[in-house]
Amino acid sequence: MCGRYSLSKSKIELEERFQADMVVDFTPRYNIAPTQLVPVITSDSPRGFSFFYWGITPDFGHNKPVSQKLINARAESVNEKISFRNSFQKRRCLVPADGFFEWKR
């Protein structure tokens, strides 16, 4: 699990790598935090980048405070937990990243 990640590629590099258009300008970022707007490729629109806020909003909580707390899911239990199950089964996306890290306290 990670609390931050980086995406150091340029808009052009991302478009070439994923064969998808990005209509908005994108600047490489090295410290992407939960709740920030990030580029993703969804199964609904595989030929273009969409921008979503990093966080998981479960079916039972349609507000930002809930999604701020749910930022990661464990691979071994993602299909079992009610918070993640429906999203895991029906709403998948590709999140380009080239590094991830966790801050030390």
Active site residues: 2, 102
β-partners of residue 7 are: 29
What is the C-alpha separation between 100 and 50, in angstroms, rounded? 21
Element (H, E) at 39: strand 37-42
Element (H, E) at 26: none
Residue type, 21: D
